[in-house]
Structures are given as structure tokens and as C-alpha cells.
């Protein structure tokens, strides 16, 4: 079986001295593709470099995370969008991410305005480049679902989608994807999402270096967690692991237009 991690922050400083360990762990676990999601301009450059150093294995997604919309350097949005356009033209990136909204990190009206402006710019550049969008939607899924039809963005991935579960049907009806991670092994809420989501709309992620509880407590988040997630999905959906792994691989190639070599 072959596995994929569609959402990991390889450019995060926590992983900076662990890349060789992560790559070895992925290859040992048959995790054949990693999508390195960025948080700001600096990590966008780092994700690009990692993709360049590891062709056909690490792929770059560039963007500004909603957590960082309050800490932007002068011209950072413009520089990030220009970088995305340049790298999209050269076919060196596969998605825009991680972008979205998060009210927990935008308490004041001014902060909310800035967060929405950043997200607007990211969706606008997704329109211009026709790239898929990887979305952070904690506490904002309904608002984002209402926003998306205003943009010509076809490929949307809600990463670590939790709630409201009532939105799931509309998401998948629109052809959107969701990705779930290690929480699928122990979280009742995530397991319910997986149960209700069509397998044809599911992808797997670790969101490393985020750490988890349950059987993952106090462990560094690694690509080798992915087969355990696939196992959990197979158990929840009462199908063979091979069927889950093959379908997720197909979803991956469909969504990112990446040819598995």
C-alpha cells in the first residue's frame, strides 16, 4: 500500500533539524508524497526549497495562515501572492495553503478585518492561478462556505474538518474534500465525520509538528502515523485497508493533479 500526507508543516522551525529523520520515516512507511503547507512568506520560501531538494516526493503549498494575519511584515501579502503567481506559472507548486479564517486569533473588529482581507487575497490568487486551496476553518466553516461561491475556486480541501457536521453533505455535494489526521484514531467527533464523509472525498494528513493525545501522546508527529489513520478509516467504514489506501491515493492525484511515479 502507498500513503500520502496532504497537510504537514515541513517548513516549521520545529522540524528544521529533523528533515532527514522525517524523510527516512516516510520512505520506511511507504508514505510516497508529502504536501508541505506554509504559514507566511518565510515558510513559503522554505517549502519551495524542500520541494526543490526532494522532487516527486515533497510538494509545496504556499500561503498565509490566518494565525499570521496580525503579524504581517510590510508588503508581505503582495510578496506572497507574487511568489505564488510566479511559482504557479513555473508549475513548481501544487496548492495554496494553509489559508482561511480563525476567530480565536482575531478578537477585535480590526483583527477580523485584517484576517478576512488576507483570506480574500489568497482566494483571489487561487482564482488567477487555478490552484487548489487548502483551508483552515476552525470556528469559521459556515462563513467560509458562504464566501467560496463568490470566487472561481473549484478545488477546495477543508483540512482537519470537525464541525458543524451538518455542513459535510453540502461540502461533498460541491465536490470539496476533507482531510483528517491522527485524531481519527481516538476522537469520537472526527470518527463521526469520517463515517459520514464519502471515501471519494477523504484525504489523510498529520498536520505535523502539531502533537496529539491518545496513543500518540508525547510523540513527535511523523509520516508513519499515516498508515494508522488509514487503518482507522478502514475500521470506521468497515472496508479493507487496501481499498481505503487506493481510494485516497486516487483522491490525491485527482485533487493535486500529481502523477505518482
- 203: pLDDT strictly greater than 80: yes
What is the overall mean pLDDT for the chain? 95
Rounded Cα distance, 162 and 102, in Å:
13
pLDDT at 163 over 90: no
Grid look-up 490568487 returns: 125
Residues 95 and 134 sit within 8 Å (Cβ to Cβ): yes
The reported pLDDT for the residue numbered 60 is: 97
d(CA 234, CA 239): 5
Domains in the chain and their CATH numbers? 3-256 (3.20.20.140)
pLDDT at res. 107: 81
Q: What is the pLDDT of residue 71?
A: 84
Predicted confidence band at 146 (pLDDT cuts at 50, 70, 90)? very high
pLDDT score of 261 more than 80? no
Cell numbers at 150, concatenated: 463568490
pLDDT cut 70: percent of the chain above it? 100
Sequential DSSP letters for 83-123:
HHHHHHHTT---EEEEEE--GGG--SHHHHHHHHHHHHHHH
Mean pLDDT of 213-230: 94
Q: Tell me the pLDDT band of 214, cut-offs 50, 70 and 90.
A: confident
Buried b (16+ CB within 10 A) or exposed e, 42-64: ebbbbbbebbeebeebbbbbbbb
- Please report which confidence band the pLDDT of residue 168 belongs to, taking 50, 70 and 90 as the band edges: very high
What's the pLDDT at 70? 81
Please tell me the predicted confidence (pLDDT) of residue 222.
Answer: 97
pTM exceeds 0.85, yes or no: yes
Give residue 89's pLDDT.
87
* Residue 72 binned pLDDT confidence (cut-offs 50, 70, 90): confident
Amino acid at each position: 500500500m502507498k500513503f500520502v500526507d496532504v497537510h504537514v508543516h515541513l517548513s516549521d522551525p520545529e522540524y528544521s533539524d529533523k528533515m532527514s529523520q522525517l524523510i527516512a520515516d516516510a520512505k520506511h512507511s511507504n508514505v510516497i508524497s508529502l504536501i508541505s503547507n506554509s504559514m507566511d512568506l518565510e515558510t513559503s520560501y522554505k517549502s519551495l526549497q524542500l520541494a526543490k531538494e526532494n522532487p516527486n516526493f515533497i510538494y509545496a503549498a504556499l500561503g498565509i495562515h490566518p494565525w499570521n494575519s496580525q503579524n504581517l511584515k510590510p508588503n508581505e501579502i503582495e510578496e506572497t501572492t507574487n511568489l505564488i503567481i510566479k511559482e504557479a506559472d513555473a508549475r513548481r507548486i501544487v496548492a495554496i495553503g494553509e489559508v482561511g479564517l480563525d476567530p480565536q486569533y482575531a478578537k477585535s473588529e480590526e483583527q477580523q478585518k485584517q484576517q478576512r482581507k488576507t483570506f480574500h487575497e489568497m482566494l483571489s490568487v487561487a482564482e488567477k492561478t487555478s490552484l487548489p486551496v487548502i483551508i483552515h476553518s476552525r470556528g469559521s466553516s459556515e462563513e467560509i462556505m458562504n464566501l467560496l461561491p463568490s470566487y472561481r475556486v473549484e478545488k477546495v480541501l477543508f483540512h482537519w474538518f470537525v464541525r458543524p457536521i451538518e455542513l459535510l453533505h453540502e461540502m461533498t455535494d460541491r465536490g470539496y474534500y476533507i482531510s483528517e489526521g491522527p485524531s481519527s484514531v481516538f476522537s469520537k467527533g472526527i470518527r463521526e465525520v469520517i463515517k459520514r464523509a464519502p471515501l471519494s472525498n477523504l484525504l489523510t494528513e498529520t498536520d505535523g509538528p502539531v502533537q496529539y493525545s491518545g496513543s500518540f501522546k508525547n510523540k513527535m508527529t511523523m509520516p508513519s502515523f499515516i498508515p494508522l489513520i488509514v487503518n482507522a478509516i478502514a475500521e470506521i467504514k468497515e472496508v479493507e485497508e487496501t481499498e481505503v489506501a487506493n481510494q485516497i491515493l486516487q483522491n490525491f492525484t485527482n485533487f493535486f493533479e500529481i502523477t505518482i511515479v
